[in-house]
Structure 1
Amino acid sequence: MGETSRATEPLFRSSAEIRISATPQEIYELISCLPRSGEWSPECQGGTWVVGEPATVGAVFRGENLRSPDVVSWAPVVRGTWTTYAEVVAAEPGRTFRWAMHDSAGRKQSSVWAFDIEAAAGGSVLTHHFRMDTATEGILGITAEMDETRKQQFFKEWGDKVAGDLAATLERVKAVIEKQ
């Protein structure tokens, strides 16, 4: 097999899945309600819909976020509280919900978070994905002063952090839904 070109590979790609004792529609109703994301997200504390019909393609969500100081502690990532804007790019009830992060000028970036739901015996399988095809404004700022070795270290540690967040999110979504 030949080498894969960096141009065709995403910068970050991660996913995790979990079985939940609920219908795809019940799960969709929760995960598409981003103001409730503080109940399950390791970083997003919730927020508000600021543009469009909530949870529909084109709607924009203003998220309030919190990151602890120990996350990739050596790198210049945002810590404490900050705000993000995300635009819904797919909304198919009972099936998929995806949103792309905006840059500081309000443009969609290639940083997409997603939930996909499939019916399964005794409930559903919920998959949580993250994909970043090219460096976002934030990643460019974080890595601007890094040499290649430090960039590789950052991408490895940040990728591990994202994978852990996806898994934690799914466990928390499961807990919320199965308590309802």
Structure 2
Amino acid sequence: MTKSIVDNSPLFELSARISVSATPEEVYSVVSDLPRQGEWSPECQGGTWISGEPATVGAVFRGENLRSESVVAWAPLIRGVWHTEARVVAAEPGRTFRWMMLSHAQEDQESVWGFDMEPAPEGCVLVHHFRMGKATAGIQKIVKDLNEDDRKRFIEDWTEKLVRDLDATLKRIKDVIESQ
């Protein structure tokens, strides 16, 4: 049996960066406020903290997401409103904030989103990153009935979508912070 593209690890490892005219601490206070994600995320509409002290390691966030019909339109994706849960795995004010996606069974998945702040002369550089080691249960479900050529096409199309989303998120965060 041949190895599928979805068996690669990491499956995704992407980042984008932008300069922001604010201190790393000011930027951190915004990006660690996950309920505000609706202000900048192309998919996450916001959500609520469901356990733990908000924005601290171990706290769990339930996000509400919205995906349009046009996003990788040919693939069997969840459309409309759907929910995810994630646990904060790093929370260092002014430095880094990361969260790991949880499965429906509340188990860790190798899917981590985050922000890093790097001091810069005019404020800071904000880095938004995403890494998926092993394919999550959701990715496995999407590609389950696809042949290998379509699996490769999906990974390519999804990578392009993620790149656009990382960039769009950073631009929106910059606008939010610099207009305050």
- TM-score normalised to the size of structure 2? 0.95
Question: Which residue of structure 1 aligns with residue 120 of structure 2?
Answer: 120
Q: Is 1:177 the equivalent of 2:177? A: yes
1:1-22 Cα shifts (integer Å, max 9, x gaps): xxxxx97741011110000000
Residue 134 of structure 2: SS of its match in structure 1? Answer: coil
Question: Which residue of structure 1 aligns with residue 82 of structure 2?
Answer: 82
Q: Give the length in aligned residue pairs.
A: 175
Distance in 2 of aligned mates of 1:134 and 1:22: 35
What are the residue-to-residue correspondences of 1:68-147 with 2, within 5 Å? 68-147=68-147
1:120-170 Cα shifts (integer Å, max 9, x gaps): 011100000000001101000000001110000000000100110000000
Residue 27 of structure 1: SS of its match in structure 2? Answer: helix
Question: Which residue of structure 1 aligns with residue 3 of structure 2?
Answer: none
Gaps of 5+ in 1: 1-5
- TM-score normalised to the size of structure 1? 0.95
Q: Relative to structure 1, is the Cα distance of residues 22 and 34 closer, same or farther in structure 2, using a 3 angstrom cutoff?
A: same
Question: Which residue of structure 2 aligns with residue 67 of structure 1?
Answer: 67
Q: CA RMSD for the aligned pairs?
A: 1.1
Structure 1 runs, 4 residues or longer, greater than 3 Å off: 6-9
Question: Which residue of structure 2 aligns with residue 27 of structure 1?
Answer: 27
2:7, 2:135 within 8 Å by CA — same for their partners in 1? no
Distance in 1 of aligned mates of 2:74 and 2:8: 29
What amino acid is the match of 2:142? Answer: I
Identity of aligned residues (%): 60
Distance in 2 of aligned mates of 1:19 and 1:53: 29
Residue 161 of structure 2: SS of its match in structure 1? Answer: helix
Gaps of 5+ in 2: 1-5
